[in-house]
Structure 1
Amino acid sequence: MAVIENDPSIEAATRTVGEVGIRTAYRTCPLCEATCGLEITLKSDGVGGKTVQRIRGDKDDVFSKGFICPKGSTLKHLHEDPDRLRVPMAKRDGVHVEVTWEEAWSEIEAGLGGVIERHGRSSLGVYGGNAGAHSLSSMMYLRTLFTGLGTRNRYSASTVDQMPRHVAAGHIFGSPVAVPVPDLDRTEHLLILGANPYVSNGSMCTAPDFPGRIERIRERGGKVVVVDPRRSRTAEEADEWIAIRPGSDALLLAAMCNVLVVENLVNVGPHVAEYLNGLDEFVAAIAPFTPESVVVATDVAATVIRKLARELAAATTASVYGRIGTTATEFGSTATWLIDALNILTGNLDRSGGAMFAMPVAGGATTRGKPGSGRGFEIGRGQTRVSGHPEVMGEYPVGALAEEITTPGEGQLRAMITVGGNPIRSNPNSELLAEAFNDLEFMVSVDLYLNETTRHADVILPSPSQLQRSHYDLLLLQFGVRNVANYSEPVLPLDGQPDEWEVISKLTLVAQGMGVDADPALADHRAIDAMVRSAVRSEHSRLRGRDAEEILAELNSSGRVGPERMLDFMLRSGPFGDGFGAEPEGTSLDDLLRRPHGRDFGALEPRLPDILRTPSGKVELAPAAFINDLDRLAAAVPGFENQGLVLIGRRHLRSNNSWMHNVNVLVKGKPRCTLHVHPDDAALLGLTDGDAATITSRVGSVTAPVEVTDSITPGVVSLPHGWGHNAPGAQMRVAAEHAGVNSNILTDHEAMDPLSGTSVLNGIPVEVAVAS
């Protein structure tokens, strides 16, 4: 790594106190999408060891400016957690025991090799968890693993989370990562649906201190409106809360679009109008969705719907933003499309204060290839073997995973690889999936913990802790509300453990039959060589026509390998890069090392038409997939009207899906895994605060303590996601003491948004009764 002396931006100095060194390190928090900067104080023991003394927000971070949530300060606890795996585990007579790395690789070679020999590579399945989005190594090397396994049976957490957002962006703008984000720092009107950024810190919208950014909208005279079945923390802080029936967001959004059309409030603006297709078709298709037609289904009055639409149209600048509450529903993709439609119809797409596109500093799908047009987006290049669910972005719905394991026939899944995920807690009908995993012939997991999913694995390969890895938010900064870059070196040494990229690379090579002695550097060299040669061949690359060998030699001269070498190349060839000498003021990995607080490349700027990758070179407002789905949406109205009690999820600021419940400082205190019930419903059901209630859906039943609260609307109950830490064989002791119940025992694996394969996790029909 380059060493820069006398640079005022370098704050990470080392000072000596007696014989003990105190060092301050800076890094980006990798625990959620907020990407907050951390200031970490380290103490040396004088014999080469280091311990973390304190973690607090980095006030000089160019993006977060000192903001930190309770999770960020627990990286020390995660690193020191005695339950965190440091060495591989292998199952012996049904019990996991520690083994050497050599033993682990030998078992993987025999296990995967045996399955491939008996059943072929189509019998392999792979699952990537949410943690991969927060890991530089996973972002760089999981694609290599997925491809190298030679199977199309790929699954990820995307189909219980954000896939509708990608599907909408793909159809409208031509690229699934061309995701408009609210320009929070300049908007005057923010409409939030199904999101709670005061707790989640934002999602598919990378914005450290999202709460503070919301508060500043109001401070400058703007307005914040929240649409949600719960009076969430965000709703409490907003100017207005609109309670809505779970899963009916698409109907509300369609009716708002209808109001804009009928009242002649559509004003696309010349900037977007020049590149817009399908306005007339959209107007005709939305005509049946009058405010009156959706009132009973949404529980939102027609006068309120008109007011929402009119205020959006009248605002100087405005943006509509939706997340899990809108995506994890049976109309998740259509609802997301209608969010984009509202931003387009009100003239707020791709303009300051509206919904804008980030320019990722390390580049990405929206910066590569021919600007302004492309091949577009499609799904269905394959189907699941049993139920015929279409492929989306190279993967299949996790809701179909269990049946692919348990249904006999050619292509039946007989082995699984999971990386950084806990699908048996995060996916629908968890008990069915757990039973299916018991049927596998072999399973290998890459994970920090022996948890509810990895307990099924024959071999578990540990990853280093977050403090032992380098970090750059390769994915999340594609959705940033500013164009920034921040690289973090490892804070603590690996202590003899292989790095995460080495584990994933070697796993790929072993699965390809290259043996237990395969060098992970081989996959690494292949990957960087392919990246460079592809760039110099592309007529639209900044490096077109350059000498690939010369660029590779310059990259290799730094001594970097693994994700650092790849990242350096991506930064230097990216939109703000130094172009390997062409732009001396451009960025590189060395540049970011000189700037431990990050580098700010400014506010978002309009990107039309260059960001488009549609064949027409236009913003496609009326893709056939969504226009056709409006018939299904209209037909669903009677079902909403006749619904009984429905279940939704919720998040907590001190929680992160299922895996941070083993940190005592985050789970201590009042139990959080409770069933929220409105007082009116509690009275009808004979429930009082603290009672145990049994919640039953089509696929399962759980019992949880009741919390009576008027923050939930009548007819809706809520359980938090990610709990239920009572599985035999798991080794997460703190989590087991605060086990809670698994809400995904209740979610239905057959309930999906057909356009994206996303599981329905909100609006689950349930019955609730006093526990017997």
Structure 2
Amino acid sequence: MDTQCPFCSVQCKMIVEERSTDGSPAYTVTPKPNKASEGRLCIKGMNAYQHALSGERILFPMAKVDGDFVRVSWEEAHRLIESKFAAIRRNYGNDAIGVYGGGSLTNESAYLLGKFARVALRTRYIDYNGRFCMSAAASAGNKAFGLDRGLTNPLSDIALARCIILAGTNIAECQPTLMPYFTQAKENGAFIIAIDPRRTGTTELADLHLNVKPGMDAALANGLLKVIVEQGYTDQAFIDGRTKGFKQLKEHLASMDLDHIADITGVPAGRIRQAAEAFGKASAGMVFTARGVEQQTDGYLAVRNFLNLALVTGKIGREGCGYGAITGQGNGQGGREHGQKADQLPGYRSIENEADRAYIAGVWGIDAGNLPGKGVSAYEMMEKVHGEEIRALFVMGSNPVVSNPNADFVEAGLRKLDFLVVADMFLSETARMADLILPTTSYLENEGTLTNLEGRVLLREAGRQAPGEAKHDWQILSEIAAWLGKASFFPYTAAEQVFEELRIASRGGIADYYGITYERLRREEGVYWPCPAPAHPGERRMFEQSFAHPDGKAELIAVNHHFPKEQVSEYYPLHLTTGRVLTHYLTGVQTRRSHTLAARQFESYLEIHPATAKKHRIEDAALIRLESRRGSIVVRSKLTSDIREDTVFVPMHWGGIQNVNKVTNEALDPTCKMPGFKVCAVQVKPLLEYD
């Protein structure tokens, strides 16, 4: 099976070979040379086949009858959907049905999900779990540059950088096959700065670790900018010729006090100066951000401030220079380009732009007036579910009861639904709540394209027949649309047909895939977007001559210090931050079905500094209760000096009583609607207390 890893945004290629040993199948996984991971695989990729071959796969449609799931035929499933959706639309209107997608869906599935919502259901309410992954960086890139692509330059440029800022990203655990790029850069003399409240495998590589207080990244970036501007490390020619807004930014920085910034961020002024000098003086440099910076209630502005760093020093649009948002999900890039976001149409078009609406309506063969308007973000959809404005929900490729903040509220809302349909491979925490489950295919069986963190479109071939009665996402959507009377709009018989329509729908848009075909992808092993014509090579390095705004200039912005929405108190004295671990992915639905991965990390845990643990009478490896204003969980303690004394850390991959999102804050970034996952106020205490 010639395939690629279904997990992170590197999308490493591999070959999975099945052999028979004494009558039992045995599997060998071999990394395959490719331009992104250069033939590397991490432990998740090496063992991904295990979940695809798991005996826990859902193999046929299942409907809930008297509280239990029973097998039904596809025809029965379709009739149930048709009747339930028809009744809800008749009684409450089209917008009473919501659609909830995922950032691991192929480009074809993401595109078709958006079309399904707007053409087959005619609902405005569609969004996806990528809102929790890339929305802050996407919004910041669009506003600053006029365009959002994960990396503005190819991965090969990393080795050419002389200084690299890694802000809120733990690449060593989240994208480990990228680490050699940074190791090579360091061997070439690059100075690496890591910004993280924890000491991780990534910070160990760094020459300088700035262990910032959770939620204070935007203020720290202000400190770096202040030193760079005042010490004259700016590229004035670049600023004058290719940016706007510098005067206001300079005045803003002049009003700030570096010692105050040091105090509120927890990073000494001397270390801020050292980092600023290293980046400012470097002849070439790159800035990377990830969820640590982005999953904040000021995530959009925090990223904008890190983009300011690249812009005022002229470190973008040339070799060894640029910005990268380290995408989390496998298709986090492509998944946000083609229409499963509330405000978006294919090709990164805006659903509120009349010309964009007219173009897509023409591609789809409908009247532009029949296209629904802008919906709301993922968590706001959960609020509408809880408020019973949304009465039915169709979920594909996501597990919202675990991935949303304030998860108890979300679970209570889902229980109010008149009808919940979940398309999944496994009985996830959300699928257990469903009225109807539809079995989907895995990465080994489902052909389609995905776009990696560079903006490189890749083709994943199908290497195995679908098991049982499982169907591809595009088949499920097309068949339901036919039962809803929209068959003529969904005439597909292969994933490639969907992609051919996507090419046309994206043509002329910001994310232009028109010049990309399956044949090219097979021949060239991937093509960068934008690629406006079949003869176009694809744009590897963005913004070499101009930015994507009409005037060709990037926009600088003055960013005020921001403090988390929720502050610590006597009762909730600690900051909680969340993240990932090497062996698991997202809510763990797939990786917890891999016996190798599950055995390496079979339960969640809480990292706590020994001094803090002593203060709260917590011993190592003890069960503890973690509580916030929203709820509580039970996890096992892990004492470590690798974390700040005022902060605790819990990974995000478990559900049930270990679901950390039961305690996270539902407050949203006002611009991009990213929840503030990365910081809330909590208390910790032993589950069992002894006198």
Alpha-carbon contact 1:576-1:587 (below 8 Å) kept: no
Which secondary structure does the structure 2 equivalent of 1:353 belong to? coil
| Candidates 378, 389, 408, aligned match of 1:398 | 378
Residues 1:488 and 2:460 aligned together: yes
Percent identity, aligned pairs only, is: 24
1:144 corresponds in structure 2 to 115
**What is the number of residues matched between the two proteins?**
640
Greater shift after overlay, 174-183 or 429-438?
174-183
2:358 corresponds in structure 1 to none
Q: CA deviation at 1:427?
A: 0.6
Which secondary structure does the structure 1 equivalent of 2:658 belong to? coil
- CA–CA distance in 2 between the matches of 1:172 and 1:196? 25
1:155 corresponds in structure 2 to 127
- Do the aligned partners of residues 485 and 756 (structure 1) sit closer, same or farther apart at CA in structure 2, a change above 3 Å counting? closer
- Do the aligned partners of residues 219 and 641 (structure 1) sit closer, same or farther apart at CA in structure 2, a change above 3 Å counting? farther
Query: 1:210-229 alignment to 2 at 5 Å?
Result: 210-229=178-197
- CA–CA distance in 1 between the matches of 2:613 and 2:38? 44
Alpha-carbon contact 2:286-2:321 (below 8 Å) kept: yes
- CA–CA distance in 1 between the matches of 2:98 and 2:503? 32
- Do the aligned partners of residues 194 and 421 (structure 1) sit closer, same or farther apart at CA in structure 2, a change above 3 Å counting? same
- CA–CA distance in 2 between the matches of 1:104 and 1:249? 48
**Letter of the 1:189 counterpart:** C
1:200 corresponds in structure 2 to 174
Report the TM-score when normalising by structure 2.
0.84
Alpha-carbon contact 2:133-2:291 (below 8 Å) kept: yes
- Do the aligned partners of residues 40 and 634 (structure 1) sit closer, same or farther apart at CA in structure 2, a change above 3 Å counting? closer
Alpha-carbon contact 1:268-1:344 (below 8 Å) kept: no
Which secondary structure does the structure 1 equivalent of 2:460 belong to? coil
Alpha-carbon contact 1:501-1:562 (below 8 Å) kept: no
Aligned-residue RMSD, C-alpha: 3.7
- Do the aligned partners of residues 303 and 638 (structure 1) sit closer, same or farther apart at CA in structure 2, a change above 3 Å counting? farther
| Candidates 217, 228, 235, aligned match of 1:260 | 228
Alpha-carbon contact 1:259-1:290 (below 8 Å) kept: no
Query: 1:460-479 alignment to 2 at 5 Å?
Result: 460-474=437-451, 476=452, 479=454
- CA–CA distance in 2 between the matches of 1:685 and 1:364? 43
- Do the aligned partners of residues 395 and 234 (structure 1) sit closer, same or farther apart at CA in structure 2, a change above 3 Å counting? farther
Alpha-carbon contact 1:702-1:745 (below 8 Å) kept: yes
1:748 corresponds in structure 2 to 665
- Larger-Rg structure: 1
| Candidates 658, 675, 690, aligned match of 2:606 | 675
1:421 corresponds in structure 2 to 398
Alpha-carbon contact 1:86-1:464 (below 8 Å) kept: no
Report the TM-score when normalising by structure 1.
0.76
**Letter of the 1:653 counterpart:** L
Alpha-carbon contact 1:170-1:178 (below 8 Å) kept: no
Q: CA deviation at 1:708?
A: 0.5
Alpha-carbon contact 1:30-1:471 (below 8 Å) kept: no
- CA–CA distance in 1 between the matches of 2:73 and 2:139? 43
- CA–CA distance in 2 between the matches of 1:344 and 1:741? 42
Residues 1:118 and 2:91 aligned together: yes
Q: CA deviation at 1:637?
A: 11
1:13 corresponds in structure 2 to none
Deviations 1:260-285 (A, max 9, x none): 22222211544x64231111122123
Deviations 1:433-482 (A, max 9, x none): 111111111111111112111122211111112111113213x35x34xx
- CA–CA distance in 1 between the matches of 2:650 and 2:275? 29
- CA–CA distance in 2 between the matches of 1:214 and 1:562? 39
Deviations 1:519-575 (A, max 9, x none): 4x74146xxxxxxxxxxxxxxxxxxxxxxxxxxxxxx9xx98533544777999999
Query: 1:600-611 alignment to 2 at 5 Å?
Result: 604-609=540-545, 611=547
- CA–CA distance in 2 between the matches of 1:337 and 1:175? 13
Which secondary structure does the structure 2 equivalent of 1:702 belong to? strand
2:359 corresponds in structure 1 to none
Deviations 1:397-444 (A, max 9, x none): 333334312336xxx111111111001001111111111111111111
- CA–CA distance in 2 between the matches of 1:399 and 1:760? 11
**Letter of the 1:185 counterpart:** A
1:100 corresponds in structure 2 to 73
**Letter of the 2:471 counterpart:** P
Residues 1:353 and 2:320 aligned together: yes
Which secondary structure does the structure 2 equivalent of 1:349 belong to? coil
| Candidates 532, 552, 555, aligned match of 1:620 | 555
Q: CA deviation at 1:136?
A: 3.6
2:2 corresponds in structure 1 to 26
| Candidates 2, 5, 15, aligned match of 1:39 | 15
Query: 1:372-383 alignment to 2 at 5 Å?
Result: none
| Candidates 311, 316, 320, aligned match of 1:344 | 311
Query: 1:120-519 alignment to 2 at 5 Å?
Result: 120-132=93-105, 135-148=106-119, 149-177=121-149, 180=152, 183-201=157-175, 209-270=177-238, 273-355=240-322, 394-407=374-387, 412-474=389-451, 476=452, 479-480=454-455, 484-494=456-466, 497-510=470-483, 513-514=484-485, 519=487
- CA–CA distance in 2 between the matches of 1:575 and 1:441? 38
1:73 corresponds in structure 2 to 46
- CA–CA distance in 2 between the matches of 1:301 and 1:195? 21
- CA–CA distance in 2 between the matches of 1:637 and 1:506? 45
- CA–CA distance in 2 between the matches of 1:500 and 1:246? 38
Q: CA deviation at 1:100?
A: 0.8
- CA–CA distance in 1 between the matches of 2:113 and 2:220? 38
**Letter of the 2:69 counterpart:** H
- CA–CA distance in 2 between the matches of 1:332 and 1:248? 10
- Do the aligned partners of residues 572 and 291 (structure 1) sit closer, same or farther apart at CA in structure 2, a change above 3 Å counting? closer
Q: CA deviation at 1:74?
A: 2.5
- Do the aligned partners of residues 296 and 507 (structure 1) sit closer, same or farther apart at CA in structure 2, a change above 3 Å counting? farther
- CA–CA distance in 1 between the matches of 2:508 and 2:586? 35
- CA–CA distance in 2 between the matches of 1:106 and 1:363? 29
Residues 1:655 and 2:572 aligned together: no
Alpha-carbon contact 2:316-2:543 (below 8 Å) kept: no
Alpha-carbon contact 2:568-2:681 (below 8 Å) kept: no
Query: 1:709-720 alignment to 2 at 5 Å?
Result: 709-720=640-651
- Do the aligned partners of residues 414 and 363 (structure 1) sit closer, same or farther apart at CA in structure 2, a change above 3 Å counting? closer
**Letter of the 1:722 counterpart:** H
Residues 1:771 and 2:682 aligned together: no
- Do the aligned partners of residues 694 and 340 (structure 1) sit closer, same or farther apart at CA in structure 2, a change above 3 Å counting? same
- CA–CA distance in 1 between the matches of 2:76 and 2:282? 64
- Do the aligned partners of residues 174 and 430 (structure 1) sit closer, same or farther apart at CA in structure 2, a change above 3 Å counting? same
